Amino acid sequence: RLQELQAFAHRPACTVDGKCFEIVANIGTPEEAELALEQGAEGIGLYRTEFLFMHREQMPDEEEQFQAYRRVAEIMGERPVIIRTLDIGGDKELPYLELEKEMNPFLGYRAIRIGLNQPQLLKTQLRAILRASVYGNIKIMFPMISSLEEWREARRIYQEAEADLKQEGKEFKAGLELGIMVEVPSAAVLAARFAKEVDFFSIGTNDLVQYTIAVDRMNEKVAYLYDYFHPAVLGLIKLVIDAAHREGKWVGMCGSMAGDPLAAPLLVGLGLDEWSMSAGSIKEIKRIIAGLDARACAELAERALQLNTTAEVRELLQTFHH
Ligand code: PEP
Ligand code: MG
C-alpha cells in the first residue's frame, strides 16, 4: 500500500482525461527543499522566509539571506522557487524589530505593511533574492496585499533593488516574475484588476478564511467556524482563478486547502494551476488527481458553488470522494 503510494511521488499529476497540474511544496528552510524533492515536489510554491529572521538577536544581513536563497535555488535547479517576502507580525514576532503590542495584531502592522513602512528592510531582502536568482528559477511574491497601491509600491521597491544592483555591477536576473498572495478578501474582490498587473496569484487560504469569515485562525473557541469550504470562500477562490485566467495568468494555492484530499476534485474542477502543500501530502494528492476525470470535476465544482452552507459542500465532496 505504502509502496503503491510512493510510486506516485515522482509522476506528473495528470487526470485520467489528461489535464495536468503543478504540485509544489511549502518550505521554511533550505533543508526542507531537499526533503520536498524526495517527496516529489516539482518546485517550491511558498518559501516562508520568516524562519530565517526568527529566534535570533539580529536581522540577517543581505549576505546571509543571499546564501539561504541561493541554497534553495541550487537544490531545486530548473524547478520554480517562489520566495515570499517577510511575513512577520500577526502571531510572529521579531525581538529586534520592537513591534508594539497591538489590540488586533492580525489586522495590524504585519507582512507587506512592515516592508512598505520600512523599505530598507524589504529592499535588502529583494536584493538578496535577486542576487540568488542567478542560481536557479526564482519568483517573488508579496504577502497580505490588500490594495493595488501596496502591490505597485512593492513592485517599485523591487525595481529600485534591480536598478541599484545594476549600478553596482552585481550579477542578477532582471525581470523576475512577481506575484501576490491572495489572502485578504479585498485582493480577491479586485482580482480582475490585479490580474492585469501581476504575473501570478497564490491563494493563501489560511488567512483568506480568517479574514473572510472574521474568525481567528488560532482561537479554539471559534474553530468550528473556520472552514475553507464556506460558500463565501469558495466564491472568492472561483473569482480569483477566473479573473487570472481571463488575463492569461496562472493561479497557485499555498494554504492548507491545497493539500486536503477532500478539496482535490473541487480544485481540479476550478482549474487551479499550481498546488503548494507540505511535502508529506504530495504523493497522496498526486494519487488522487491521477484517478480523477477533469470534466466530472468541473461539474462537481459548478454544483458546489451553488450550495448555501459549508455542511452541504462537505457532504457533496464526501459523496464524490467515495
Ligand atoms: C496562508 O495564509 O494561507 C498562507 C499560506 O500563509 P501563512 O500560513 O504563512 O500565513
Ligand atoms: Mg498567510
Print burial letters for 28-55: b (CB count within 10 Å at least 16), e (below 16). ebbebbbbbbebbbbbbbbbbbbebbee
Residue 260 Cβ < 6 Å to ligand 1: no
CB 25 within 8 A of CB 279: yes
Q: Would you say 176 and 162 are in contact if contact means Cβ atoms under 8 Å apart?
A: no
Choose, from 14, 20, 254, 297, the residue flagged as catalytic.
254
Residue with cell 489590540: 103
3-class secondary structure for 181-230? Answer: EECCHHHHHCHHHHHCCCCEEEECHHHHHHHHHCCCCCCHHHHHHCCCCC
Q: What is the pLDDT of residue 1?
A: 73
The answer to the question of whether 32 is labelled as a binding residue is no
Atom of ligand 1 lying closest to residue 183 CA? 2
CB 206 near ligand 1, within 6 Å:
yes
Ligand nearest to the CA of 84: 1
Q: Is 48 annotated as a binding residue?
A: yes
* Residue minimizing CA distance to atom 7 of ligand 1: 206
What atom of ligand 1 comes closest to residue 202's alpha carbon?
A: 5
Cβ neighbours, 10 Å, residue 275: 28
Q: How many angstroms separate the CA atoms of 7 and 5, rounded? A: 5
Cβ atoms of 176 and 133 closer than 8 Å: yes
Residues contacting residue 311 through CB under 8 Å, at least 6 positions apart: none
**178 three-class SS:** strand
Q: Which atom of ligand 1 is nearest to the CA of 26?
A: 5
**Distance in Å, CA 255 to ligand 1 centroid:** 5
Q: Any alpha helices (H) in 88-184, and if so which ranges?
A: 112-117, 119-132, 148-167
Q: Specify the pLDDT at position 98.
A: 85
* Full-model pTM: 0.97
Q: Is the ipTM of this complex over 0.90?
A: yes
What is the residue-level pLDDT of the chain in tens, covering all 322 positions?
778 888 899 999 999 999 999 999 999 999 999 999 999 999 999 999 999 999 999 999 999 999 999 999 999 999 999 999 999 988 888 989 888 899 999 999 999 999 999 999 999 999 999 999 999 999 999 999 999 999 999 999 999 999 999 999 999 999 999 999 999 999 999 999 999 999 999 999 999 999 999 999 999 999 999 999 999 999 999 999 999 999 999 999 999 999 999 999 999 999 999 999 999 999 999 999 999 999 999 999 999 999 999 999 999 999 997 6
Pairing state between β 178-182 and 137-142: parallel
State the pLDDT at residue 95: 87
**Residue 26, annotated ligand binder?**
no
The pLDDT value given to residue 222: 97
Give the whole-angstrom CA distance, residue 322 versus residue 318: 6
Tell me the three cell numbers of residue 262. Answer: 477532500
Active site residue 254: yes
